A = this chain, B = another copy of it.
Amino acid sequence: MRFSVGCELQYEAITETTLILNIEAQRSSGQRLFEDRYTGPSGDVYEVPETGNRYRRLILAPGTHNFRYRAIVDTHPVRSIPDEVQETPVGKLPFDVLPHLYASRYCPSDLMARFAWRQFGNLGSGHEKVQAICNWIFENVDYLEGSSDGSTSAHDTFTLRAGVCRDFAHLGITLTRAVGIPARFVSAYALELTPQDFHAVFEAYLGGRWYLFDATRLCPIDGIIKIGVGRDAADTAFATYFGQLTGPPKVVTVERLGNVANQEWTVDAVSLSRQ
């Protein structure tokens, strides 16, 4: 599937400020990029070898700064039948995947093992377990703008039963780790999101790959274009700054290109991972 994705950001730096942007789509066997283009202040760039995250670090003088990113992305997802996607026993997990079993700032999976095992521990395949976690979140947590803030963890969301995409992803990650399956946060461009904005979903490590999950049901899982991955939102902000910034007025766009008939949402297990 082919997509045109992009965003326009505007920030006002009050003092000299270091800004780290992570708004550019990942390049991988699952995501091929054409016409990948950033316009804005120049800085240094870094593509993390292990994850494919692409960072752009900018030192901004006081004043107004504009940033623009555009890419054409072809996704080549690996599609699997959900009940055939098994979890990998901990004894067989790659060592570099193991840290995604551990608790992180917004995903205190250490606190939720009892609930997670009782509720999801006996389900079928690994993919079915994580899908059951997503279904449970969708049915039990209200999607409600303004119901959370930057300090809200999955411990809070589990009690409050309200949140936004970031909170849904955090709770999904937390419960998935709590049943012994590695999980990580994914920031993304997402098709059909209304209003259009950056999106947050998550991946679980199953059958030797990272499969995508979205407990919000706000967009089709094969309409996800990955930007950054990390332990949770603390790792994966689209913008991190050190100094004083105001903003951003932002516009995000995601369009499906090519010969697009009306399409059902997929029921496949979908992975964009580079393995």
Q: Which residues of A are at the interface with B, using a C-beta cutoff of 8 A?
A: 18, 20, 46, 48, 55, 57, 59, 89-91, 95-96, 98-99, 102-105, 107-108, 110-112, 114-115, 118, 140, 142, 149-151, 155-156, 158-162, 180, 230-231, 234-235, 242
Contacts and interface: CB of A to CB of B under 8 A. Distances in A.
Contacts of A98: 20, 55
B161 A103 contact: no
A89 B18 contact: yes
Contacts of A107: 105
B140 A118 contact: yes
A117 B102 CA distance: 29
B159 A112 contact: yes
A165 to B, nearest CB: 18
Nearest to A141: B114
A158 B161 contact: no
Contacts of A234: 102-104, 110
B91 A18 contact: yes
23 contacts: A18-B89, A46-B95, A48-B96, A55-B95, A55-B98, A59-B91, A90-B242, A99-B230, A104-B104, A104-B105, A104-B231, A104-B234, A105-B107, A105-B108, A105-B110, A108-B151, A110-B234, A111-B151, A111-B156, A114-B142, A118-B161, A155-B159, A159-B159
The 8 A-B pairs of least Cβ separation, nearest first, read A114-B161, A46-B95, A103-B105, A90-B242, A18-B91, A102-B234, A18-B90, A103-B234
Nearest to A49: B96
Given A57-B91, A99-B235, A118-B140, 15 more contacts: A18-B90, A48-B95, A55-B95, A102-B234, A102-B235, A104-B231, A105-B110, A110-B150, A111-B151, A111-B156, A112-B160, A118-B161, A158-B159, A159-B159, A231-B231
A228 to B, nearest CB: 12
A142 to B, nearest CB: 6
Contacts of A55: 95, 98
Contacts of A57: 91, 95
A94 to B, nearest CB: 9
A43 to B, nearest CB: 8
Contacts of A156: 111
Contacts of A18: 89-91
A130 to B, nearest CB: 17
Contacts of A95: 46, 48, 55, 57
Contact of A115 (B99, B159, B242): B159
Nearest to A94: B46
A49 B244 CA distance: 36
